[in-house]
Structure formats: structure tokens, C-alpha cells
Structure 1
Amino acid sequence: MSFLSPTLRLENLSTQPTMTQDHVPEDQRYNKQNIVAQWCVPINGKMYRIELEHGTTSGRRMIWVNGREVLRRDWMFKLVGEDTFHIDQTRCIIRVDPAPGFKYEYSLYIDGKSHDQYTEDMTRQYRLWLYTDDAAAEAPQEYRIMLKLDTLSLYVNDELRTEESVFVHGGTDTKFLLQDTEFVLQARSSGNKHDGIVHTLLANGVPVPEAKMQEIMQEPVSILQSSN
């Protein structure tokens, strides 16, 4: 996958998708085997799985976000080009370029930045933890906990939480309960300007390893396989 210049132009593409399959239920239109590219992107504290269907024989191009269709073009004679869509008011572009051997390269741009550039920015702006409660009553419960550093907004499975922080020696603690698991988000001074504030998440008193944003964004299905 290659990432080209974020200075993009729309050429020979309608601004509206062509809807010719509206009579087919959305869940039947979605076929995982037809997906040729996928990306994982955090936008405003929520994680999104973006998938592209590119039919080189049918001429159909479809874009799915968390399993929902956001754009469809049928019978396109031009198999390369760009498509624009929005997620939570953020402009996204998927670009299709020719590659050697009658193949194609697929690139995603978010807010004018390539997926790689955007990933680097998000790594600096967010902290992410993944936790699985194996002791849940019916089935293991998975939690994706994200902290936006500039606003200290806390998201659990894409939902914004309103939790109060209390001052403790050396920093603050933010406590919240999910099912039978008590979480504590600790904020402590690192003691030096370079590292600043260090955030640690505890689940029932046990530290939860911080997930690497760059790895997670390259493996969308592993954390969003049940999203709708």
C-alpha cells in the first residue's frame, strides 16, 4: 500500500453515490470476501473500521464504516480515482491508483493526512488500553478504553464517560465501574519535562498493559469484529 501526496483532486466522479441496490437489505449487500482494503481509525475518541469494496469486473465501488454502507457507485467505467466521505464531520478520502501487473493500490486520507501520518498524530494524542473480563457472567466482556490527552476525555467502547477525578498524592485518580470490574485511571507526574504526565490503568488493582496505537490501527478486525 502506498500513500501519495495529500493534495488531492476529484476527477470524473459524481458527488453522490448511485443507489441501484436499495431493495437489497444492507446486511446482505455486505460481503467480507469482497473487501479489498481496510483500515482502523480513531476519530473524536471513537474507533472506526473503514472497508473498501472495489469490483474490477462489476465496476462497483462501495465504502463501509463499521459494517454500514456510506457510499456506493455502480457500473463505473473508470476503476481508479478518489471517493470522499465524512465520519463525524471529518473528511476522509479513499484513493485507488493503478499498480504494476493490472493491480491496484488503495490509500486512505483522513483530514488531509495519509493513514500513516494520521496514525503518528493519534499516537501522540491518545492513550489506549484493551481489557477482557473473562469472569463476566454470560460471556467474556471486552473493553476498549481511550483517553484523549488534550481534553482528558475518557471513552469506553466509543462512549464518552463523565467521571470525576480526585486528587491524591502525586496526581489524580479517576475511578469507574464496568460490570463487576473497578477501573482506576491514574495520572502521575513523571518527574521530568520530557515524559510529562504518566497515565496508568488498573483493573481490580492490576495494571492493564497499554496498547500500541500503531499496531491496533493496522489490525482493525481484532478489536472491531463485532461492530455494527
Structure 2
Amino acid sequence: MSFLSPSLRLENLPSEPIMTLDHIPEEKRYNKNNIVAKWCAPINGKMYRIELEHGTTTGRRMIWVNGKEVLRRDWMFKLVGEDTFYIDQARCIIRVDPAPGFRYEYSLYIDGKPHEQYTDELTKQYRLWLVSIEDNEYRIMLELDTVNLFVNDQLRTETGEFVDGGTDTKFTENGNEFILQARSSGNKLDGLTHTLIANGEVIPEAKILEVMQEPFSILSST
């Protein structure tokens, strides 16, 4: 005689753990208090915030990119190792290694290079300006090799107009007028110099490596 109710019989029990987060909406699964490591990197003209959740008691490992879940592993008994994911065709790996004192070290690799080396090399290929006009924020990036221009991660289609000494690329956003000037520096080693003008005002160039130290100031959480 069985004292189990019909719904609790072994054949009715789930074959997989039920303590997952699938039933919770993604926006509620994200909790910045659970983040143990975060990085910021420019990839193909766009800025990305990469965050890792490493639950040493729950066995859960989650990776977020700009506030979106890209990888989740539940009930992991091995707390160290690596996970691979892709951002805009760039191969990314997060490694979890043991550290003294029952702690862990977290490392990010992008296209086979450590995060620090990758960003140091890549930031030399870009120019960045941060513009705040009234309630609008603009992040403008220029890729030097391709001359691709991105405004808030969106590739612009405008082309430069030839002027005396270089080119002017004009575009508008929310009624604001921008001009990206490219001028010869007069030195072959230095190449072109770039100046951004917004509504007639020259915008100082931002230092990408410094900006990446505070990724939340330039990236939304969604």
C-alpha cells in the first residue's frame, strides 16, 4: 500500500531540478548585487558591459551583456572552469579560477586575448565623444580603419563632404546638429585629426580607457 498522493508518485516527479530561474522574467532575474565581476569593452564600434554572477552556494553561473542574459548554468557542482559566448561575432571566454582563502579569480578573454590587452589594442582604433544635450545623451564613436561612425551603437550612413583640408560629416539627432571634422595634421605619422562639433560647440574627445572604468555611466542597464 502506498501512502503517497498520486501527484507525488515517483513517475510523476520532475527529472530535472526545479530550482531554476526559468519561471522568473529576465528583467527580474538581473540583480546587480549578485554580480561578482564586470568588464567593459568596445566591440565592432559598440560598447558592451559584461557581467558575471557566480553563485558559490547555489552552483549557478550567469553571464549578462548590457543587462541581457546570454548564458546561464544551474546546479554546477564544479565552481571553476570557463564558459564561452559570443558578442557580435567576437568569441568571449570567462574563466573562473581558484584563489587563496576560498576565493575565486575571474578573467575575460575576447578573441583569444586577455581583456586588458584586447581593449588596449582596440581603443587605439577608435575615437570617442560623449555629448549631453538637455535630457539626451549621445555616445559617438569613430572607427579609424573603416571610418564607420556610430551614434549610440547605431551605424550612421552619412558620408563625409570634401572641404578645404579634409572632410566634414554632418548628421542630426533629435534636432541637434553634429559635424565630425577630419583634417590633415600635416604629419604623416599622426595622420588625420578629428574634431566633433555639436550645435556649433567643440566637444572634447573622451578617453576610452578612462570611460570604461565607469561603464554604467555610458551604458544603459537594458
Asked if TM exceeds 0.5, the reply is yes
SS at structure 2 position matched to 1:218: coil
Match of 1:13 in 2: none
Match of 2:92 in 1: 92
Match of 1:123 in 2: 123
> Normalized against structure 2, the TM-score is what?
0.89
Match of 2:74 in 1: 74
CA distance in 2, matches of 1:128, 1:111: 22
CA distance in 2, matches of 1:151, 1:54: 38
Amino acid corresponding to residue 124 of structure 2 in structure 1: R
Match of 2:211 in 1: 216
Residues 1-228 of structure 1 mapped to structure 2, 5 A cutoff: 20-134=20-134, 140-224=135-219, 226-228=220-222
Amino acid corresponding to residue 35 of structure 1 in structure 2: I
Q: Which has the larger radius of gyration?
A: 2
1:40/1:216 contact within 8 Å kept: no
Moved over 3 A (4+): none
Higher relative contact order (CA 8 A, sep 6+): 1
CA distance in 1, matches of 2:142, 2:30: 32
Q: How many pairs were matched up?
A: 204
- For residues 107-142 of structure 1, what are the alpha-carbon distances to aligned partners after superposition, in whole Å with 9 as ceiling and x for unaligned? 1111111111111112211111100002xxxxx100
C-alpha deviation, 1:21, in angstroms = 2.1
1:95/1:108 contact within 8 Å kept: yes
Q: Percent identity?
A: 75
1:171/1:188 contact within 8 Å kept: yes
> Normalized against structure 1, the TM-score is what?
0.86
Structure 1 unaligned regions, length at least 5: 1-18, 135-139
| Distance of aligned partners of 1:155 and 1:227 in 2 relative to their CA distance in 1, 3 Å threshold | farther
CA distance in 1, matches of 2:96, 2:23: 28
Structure 2 unaligned regions, length at least 5: 1-18
C-alpha deviation, 1:213, in angstroms = 1.1
CA distance in 2, matches of 1:208, 1:100: 46
